[in-house]
Amino acid sequence: MSGGVHGRVLLLNGRTWEPLSVISIPRAINLLLAEKAVVIEQTGEFLRTVGDRYPVPSVIALRAYINVPRRKAHWSRRGVLVRDSFTCIYCNVQPGGYIKGKMLTKTDFTVDHIIPKSRGGKDVWTNTACACYHCNHRKGDRLPHEAGMKLSWEPKTPRTSYLVIAIGSGPEAWKRYIEY
């Protein structure tokens, strides 16, 4: 088995399927065996025990809804870029797109302060967004309307924990369960 037991499982709340935590595979299997959780997604791998094999989950959900205080998502530059899927809020370009004949990579994207820091703008989710270097440079120390630029969306504070982002990007199968 390739790395399965050492992998991680996304644990969702009951009913809402809101991400709660990232747990180890043994802990996930314990929750399943105790009938406290159900499998939502499997990895396709199997955990072999004596005379038995157990499908390794990738995403599980608690059977019951538990009341957890909403954790405030901690602001980070990486968090902003991931929240915005490395899409420029001004021109919508993404990695793989072109500006002036040059193909962009993730390193060509930065965190733009809508209200510039030099003018009192804060490092908060609602004042920051992903921008390509080109737009970031063009905007400079101006407000978007002063630079004749428009936001393609309104930057929002993520509703759920940024746990998954904090530990790096999770498996593809997790993505649809991680709401912002």
Which residues in this chain contact Zn ion in the complex, by CB under 5 A? Answer: 88, 90-91, 132, 135
Comparing CB distances to Zn ion, the nearer of 31 and 81 is 81
Comparing CB distances to Zn ion, the nearer of 24 and 85 is 85
Residue 85 beta carbon to Zn ion: minimum distance, rounded to whole angstroms = 14
| Residues 58, 8: Cα–Cα separation, whole Å | 7
Residue 132 beta carbon to Zn ion: minimum distance, rounded to whole angstroms = 3
The residues pairing with 19 across neighbouring beta strands, listed in sequence order, are 12
Residue 135 beta carbon to Zn ion: minimum distance, rounded to whole angstroms = 3
CB-count exposure of residue 142 (10 Å: 0-12, 13-18, 19+): middle
94, 74 in Cβ contact below 8 A? no
Comparing CB distances to Zn ion, the nearer of 90 and 174 is 90
Residue 163 beta carbon to Zn ion: minimum distance, rounded to whole angstroms = 29
What is the DSSP code (8-state) at residue 95? T
Comparing CB distances to Zn ion, the nearer of 14 and 95 is 95
42, 56 in Cβ contact below 8 A? yes
